[in-house]
Amino acid sequence: MIDPQEARLKALFASAPEAAPDARFTAEVAGRVRTLRRRRRFAIGVVWVGAIVLLAALLAPYAPLSGGVEVGLPQVSVPADLLTVASRNGLDLVAALRGLPVWWYYVLGTGLVPLVLLAWLVVARLVVARRRAG
């Protein structure tokens, strides 16, 4: 059985009006959604490009010279498969690697690469988490 006092409260709430619809509110939310979408695309793009470049750098010293393309120093080459993947994603990997400053080739040719890759992933994860938080 419904308590009459509770029913009275429910009726009171039901008779109270809703806030008036506000077109500006809808526009503001739509604007923030567009901004979030742009940021998300940018973050995904940055992570993809960074991951591809670093993966290329990581694999380059071990790739057979015959199967890849040399980009600078003789020991730095990019496997053909990786080039295909990169070009499918709209990235000219050879040009990107050739455009790197000379000191990068020394970084790529040493054991610093895994460390740089790890740091990159941590930073990218932090940036994405921070953007998601708001």
Q: Which region, judged by CB under 8 A, interacts with other proteins, from 28-36, 49-57, 86-94, 97-105?
A: 28-36
> Does 125 engage in binding with other proteins (CB under 8 A)?
no
3-state secondary structure of 77: strand
Does the footprint of other proteins cover residue 16 (CB under 8 A)?
yes
- In angstroms, what CA-CA distances link 100 with 16, 68, 96, 105? 66, 18, 7, 8
Q: Quote the tokens at residue 124.
A: 């990218």
Give yes or no for residue 66 binding other proteins (CB under 8 A).
no
Q: Answer yes or no whether residue 95 interacts with other proteins by CB under 8 A.
A: no
Burial of 66 (0-12, 13-18, 19+ CB in 10 A): exposed
- Contact between 44 and other proteins per CB under 8 A: no
Interacting residues toward other proteins by CB under 8 A: 5-6, 8-10, 12-13, 15-22, 25-26, 28-30, 32-34, 36-37, 132, 134
